[in-house]
Structure 1
Amino acid sequence: MTNSEAQRKQPVIAVYGANGHTGGYLLTDLHRRGLTPILVGRNADRLRAAADAAGLPDAVIRVADLNDRAALIAAFRGADVVISSLPAYVEIGEPILAAAIDAGAHYTDISGEQLFLRRVLDEYGTRAENAGVTVVSGITDSNLSGDLLAHLATRRVTGPAEVILSHLSRSGGNGSKGSAKTILASLDWFLSGGWHYEGGEFRTGPVARYTEITFPDSTTPTQVAKFAQPPVLTIPRHSDVSYVAGALDVEILGHLSGFTPAALDDMPDAPDADLRYYLVADVFGVDGGVVRGLVSGVDSYRDSALMAVEAAVRLADGTAKPGALAPAEAFDAEDFLNSLAPHGITWQITPQ
């Protein structure tokens, strides 16, 4: 194979939102893989600066505003996959998704919002299928890990299983302003706990079970409350479950209740440097068997970017079926998680 032939076989990945904090990690990993992306956004100078900072002087720059559908479709033409890197997808995420599908490109993103993911699955699945492309939304350290872990862990107990998902910061570090914008856009939904899955349907409202979790590195239980984890929506698509819910430390939820636009204005753009985390999937079988799936990560933002690029590269090979899919429907769960090990992201499933 000649060098030119090898180059033609490289996937073409477009990134919208490349000049943000997580966008920088996306570009760094694309550069590490030897891929030259298409960078799309509103400001050509900022995109060029982001490309240069990531060592991608040959990156293609295309300008398209979120409100310009024709420009977005034109910008994504020729891309195998579009990665969307935005805050508050529930407010501004749909134009990128729709334009990617209309341009004939597979799509993934780093959203963390149940409301957006439900919209993707319910309203864009048929559209993506008809276009012959695959959409996998919500590729983050929490969402992808939770979905893939639950897929593997539920198969180690007698079903239908009950699944509790929780994300735990190991350092207590603060997130980015982009994450804060996401929270503010759906604050009432986050505080309400969002959807859980029970009795074959998605439900809102409080839940009375699993109010305490003993987290890794702790010998005492932590009080938790229901939280709007997006994998609640995807796990029932591929696993034998009777109940799925997200959980979060009630102390953290208490901090969210006082969050305001004024507090957002005072936040720094970049997050803290130490953002180690655990993603915990506790799975309970009907016969009393219990297993815990655990992903241990290095940096929530970096790791989400690594996962999104890995997902994009896998989507580019065209083996996933068209439509809007859960991560475990699109990818081999064990193989995907194992691919993250060189970056210090580890996983395990153990009996409890």
Structure 2
Amino acid sequence: MVTQTDKPGHGRTIAVFGASGHTGRFMVAQLLRRGFAPLAIGRDIAKMTESGFQDSNVPIRSASIDDPSSLDCSLAGAAAVINCAGPFLDTAGAVAAAALRARIHYLDVTAEQPSAQAIFDRFGDAATDTGIVFIPAMGFYGGFADLLATAAMGNWDSADEIRLGIALDSWRPTQGTRITGQRNTARRLVIEDGKLVPLEQPAPQTSWDFPEPFGRQDVSEVPFSEVPVIARHLRVARLRSYLNNTPLCDLRDSTTPPPIAADEKGRSAQTFLVDVVVRNGSKISRAIARGRDIYAFTAPLVVEAVERILDGRARGSGALAPGVAFDSTDFLRALTPEYLTFELRAD
């Protein structure tokens, strides 16, 4: 269903599935800011209409993952689709299959390990044969850590260990985050002896000395979709991912409210720091990034990827990790200083 006349995008028409969701609205706004022509796609046309897209002359289309023909119609005229509709265990396969039928690029923002792995396994060969790019987990949880780890490794062929620490000053989860958490019951994976293995239970607890402003934090081992993404291309014997306990307490409290806009861009006041430590023997390399609002930050992260794919700066085709598709250091620096501060250190 199309509720207003679609305008030609001249190769810069980008479909956003799940556009009326919290992250989806940031994605549409970022696409507009970067000169793209977004198509807002959702399952609930009433909710789509209430989201105000028509005020920005953004076409609205409805589609269901249970109706392949509706997905095919919704993607007509697009050069790529960004899937923002979780749980991705439910939506990613259907939307990615529609992208393959349409012969357009596919990106999503899943933090779910099984979803990211399924995109690689199911669509990799077909995307390569078709000459399109599929990038699962291009969001804050997943692709961001992969870019940082790849930048930190630099020209090293392998690493003995990668330790990833995420610090949030708070976490006001969206409804989508809560629903995804309930849906995603799969055993989380880490890398040990170069292989994907289940995380031991209960999740290990430790502490992490983050750079300022966070300092020393109690953390829990919480691997997200960065694990299967990093495992695709970095030779690392051991990978561990940690999140500080403060946001975990927020997430586990059912009374924690959703994000509240605190600036003119709709971003919340939440701040984040990601600290990636790569060790190879006695050598240590570190990538440190700071920013604001993990949901809002996902939009420029993904749209930068779309820009690079469409202008020919992606390296190859197929189902790719961000660190394979892009020059990771150049990519991250392109987001500074507006969305990110980023530094590399050799300790």
TM-score of the aligned structures, taking structure 2 as reference length: 0.86
Which digits, 9 at most, give the CA deviation of each residue in 1:293-344, with x for residues without a partner?
1111111111101111111222223453221100011111112111111423
Within 5 A, what are the aligned runs for 1:1-352? 9-52=10-53, 56-57=56-57, 59-155=58-154, 159-169=158-168, 171-186=169-184, 188-189=185-186, 194-206=188-200, 211-217=206-212, 221-250=216-245, 263=254, 268-271=257-260, 273-286=268-281, 288-320=282-314, 321-352=316-347
1 CA distance for matches of 2:259 and 2:338?
A: 21
The CA deviation at 1:80 is: 0.7
Structure with the bigger RCO (C-alpha within 8 Å, sep 6+) is 1
Contact 1:143 1:231 in 2 (8 A): yes
Aligned length: 332
Contact 1:114 1:229 in 2 (8 A): yes
2 CA distance for matches of 1:141 and 1:123?
A: 23
Look up the SS of the partner of 2:300 in the other structure.
helix
Contact 2:96 2:106 in 1 (8 A): yes
2 CA distance for matches of 1:63 and 1:254?
A: 36
2 CA distance for matches of 1:255 and 1:303?
A: 20
Greater share of residues in helix: 1
Residue in structure 2 matched with residue 3 of structure 1 by the alignment: none
The verdict on how the C-alpha distance between 1:104 and 1:221 changes in structure 2, with shifts beyond 3 A counting, is same
The verdict on how the C-alpha distance between 1:51 and 1:96 changes in structure 2, with shifts beyond 3 A counting, is farther
The verdict on how the C-alpha distance between 1:267 and 1:87 changes in structure 2, with shifts beyond 3 A counting, is farther
Contact 2:9 2:77 in 1 (8 A): no
Which digits, 9 at most, give the CA deviation of each residue in 1:179-202, with x for residues without a partner?
12222222x44xx5x111122210
The verdict on how the C-alpha distance between 1:223 and 1:65 changes in structure 2, with shifts beyond 3 A counting, is same
The CA deviation at 1:9 is: 4.4
Which digits, 9 at most, give the CA deviation of each residue in 1:54-96, with x for residues without a partner?
x521x22222122101110122122111011112212333211
What is the root-mean-square deviation of aligned Cα atoms in Å?
2.7
Q: Percent identity?
A: 27
Gaps of 5+ in 1: 1-6
Contact 2:172 2:257 in 1 (8 A): no
TM-score of the aligned structures, taking structure 1 as reference length: 0.85
Contact 2:171 2:248 in 1 (8 A): no
Counterpart residue identity of residue 26, structure 2: Y
